[in-house]
Amino acid sequence: MKSMTCKQLGGPCDLVFRGNSADEIINAQDRHLKDAVQAGDSAHQEARDAMKGRWKNPIKGMGWYRDTKKAFAALPED
């Protein structure tokens, strides 16, 4: 299992996500951003918009995804 923070994924806070794959961590951050924005946390709005916007430009979105997967792979196990 490895850990990444919201900030490492482009968000504004230090909440830690743990998972066995980059996909698990990305999905956890996506839920976190959605929940934070729905709760009125404007600090997370920009990151949420960026997350949603990545998939409007597939080439850019896949670049972010590959970079995140590489960063996850380079992390030590918890």
| Assessment of whether the complete model's pTM goes beyond 0.85 | yes
Helices vs strands, H then E, count in the chain: 3, 2
pLDDT confidence of residue 22: 96
User: How far apart are alpha carbons 63 and 60 in whole angstroms?
Assistant: 5
Backbone dihedral angles phi then psi of residue 14, each to the nearest 5 degrees: -105, 20
Give, as one character, the DSSP assignment of residue 15. -
The tens place of each residue's pLDDT in the chain, 78 residues long, gives: 999 999 999 999 999 999 999 999 999 999 999 999 999 999 999 999 988 888 788 888 888 999 999 999 999 998
pLDDT confidence of residue 59: 83
pLDDT confidence of residue 38: 96
